[in-house]
Structure 1
Amino acid sequence: MKKLTLILIFIFVTNCGFSPIYLSNENSIFQSIKKIELKGSQKIGERIKNSLNIKTNNKNNYLIILDSLIEKTSISKNSSNITTGFMMVLSVKISILDDDEIILDRNFKKNFTYNNRDNKFELLKYERSIEENLISEISDEIILYLSLNNDN
C-alpha cells in the first residue's frame, strides 16, 4: 500500500506542471547579461550583484546598471539632544539596456527604523545585520521582477 501511495504522489507531483519561479532557462534574461555596471555605493552594489548570482558573458547583449544608495538618518532625539531613533533606507535602481535602449527600469526601496544603543559596538553590529537584511530583501525582489518581466 505504501508503494502505491508513493507512486501516485510521484506521478501527481511530476505531472502537475510546477516549475520554480527562480529557475532560469536558456531563454531567460539571466543568461543574456553582457555586463553589470555599478553606480552609487560600490560596497552595496557588489553585495547585491553577488546575491543575484548572474553570470556575465561578452557575447550576450544586455547591460544591467545597478545604482544603489544607503542612508542612515536620525528620526528622534531626547531632551538632551541625543539621538534615540534611526532609520536606514536602502534604494536601488535597476536599469536593463539592450543596445543603449532601456528595456526595463525600476526603483526598489526598503527602510527599517531602530532605536539607538548605549554600546556603540552592539549598535554597529546591529546596523550591519539590518543592512544585510535590506540587501537580501531587495535582491529577492529584483530576482522576482526580472523573472516576471522576462520578454526574451
Structure 2
Amino acid sequence: MKKKIFISLVLFFFLNQCEYKPIYSEINKINLKLNIIDIQGDDEMNNLVKANLEKYSNLSSNKEFNLEIKTSHSKVGIVKNKKGETTSFLITNQINFHVINNKINKKYSFSDKIRTSNNNNKFELKKYEKSIKNNFINSKINELIIKLSDLQ
C-alpha cells in the first residue's frame, strides 16, 4: 500500500513539474475569425462543419481566414454473403480546406476510412454513420484550428 502511495506522489510531482496539459485544453482560447466563402459536398457534413467552425470564430479577431471547404462521404459494400446481401461496408469521409488570407494560401486535406459490419436494424446503422461523421468532423476541425493558430 505504501509503495502505491509513493508511486502516486512521484508521478504527481513529475507531471506537475513538466506542466502536462491535454492537447486540446487551450483550443477554446484561440482567437481567430473564420469566414466560409464556399462550401460544397455532403449536406449533413457541411452543416456539422459550419456549426463547429462557428464555435471557434471570433468576429473581433485580427487573425482572419477565408475558407473554401469541400466534404465527401461514401459508403461502399465490400463483402457479400451467399444470398448477395452486403455484410460489410467501407465508410469513407473526406474534408478539404483551402485557407486564404492576405499572406497565406494553404490547403489541408483530411480523410478517414472505417470498415463496419451491416446491421439488420437500419435505424441503428444510420445512427452509427451519423456518429462517425460527427466524430470525424469534430476531430478534423480541432486539427485545423490548431494549424491555423500556428500560422502568422
Q: Calculate the TM-score normalised by the size of structure 1.
A: 0.69
Q: Structure 1: state its 5+ residue gaps.
A: 1-8
Q: Which residue of 1 aligns with 2:50?
A: 49
Secondary structure of 1:105 counterpart: strand
The amino acid of 2:27's aligned partner reads Y
Q: 1:89-147, CA deviations, whole angstroms, 9 ceiling, x for partnerless residues? A: 11000111125x75221100012111001122222222222222222222232223323
1:43–1:56 CA distance, 2 compared to 1 (3 A): farther
Partners of 2:136 and 2:86 lie apart in 1 by 22
| Root mean square deviation, CA, Å | 3.1
Q: Structure 2: state its 5+ residue gaps.
A: 1-12
Partners of 1:74 and 1:49 lie apart in 2 by 29
Secondary structure of 2:56 counterpart: coil
Partners of 1:139 and 1:73 lie apart in 2 by 25
Q: Calculate the TM-score normalised by the size of structure 2.
A: 0.69
Task: Indicate yes or no: 2:83 matched with 1:87.
Answer: no
1:119–1:42 CA distance, 2 compared to 1 (3 A): closer
1:31–1:126 CA distance, 2 compared to 1 (3 A): closer
Q: 1:64 aligns with which of 58, 64, 67?
A: 67
Aligned-pair CA distance for 1:47:
0.6
8 Å contact 2:95–2:109 — kept in the other structure? yes
Partners of 2:99 and 2:60 lie apart in 1 by 15
Q: 2:124 aligns with which of 122, 125, 129?
A: 122
Q: Which residue of 1 aligns with 2:143?
A: 141
Partners of 1:113 and 1:50 lie apart in 2 by 27
| Identity between Structure 1 and Structure 2 (%) | 24
1:151–1:76 CA distance, 2 compared to 1 (3 A): same
Task: Indicate yes or no: 2:151 matched with 1:151.
Answer: yes
Q: 1:30-70, CA deviations, whole angstroms, 9 ceiling, x for partnerless residues? A: 5243x213122232122123223232649965311121111
The aligned length equals 133
The amino acid of 1:80's aligned partner reads K
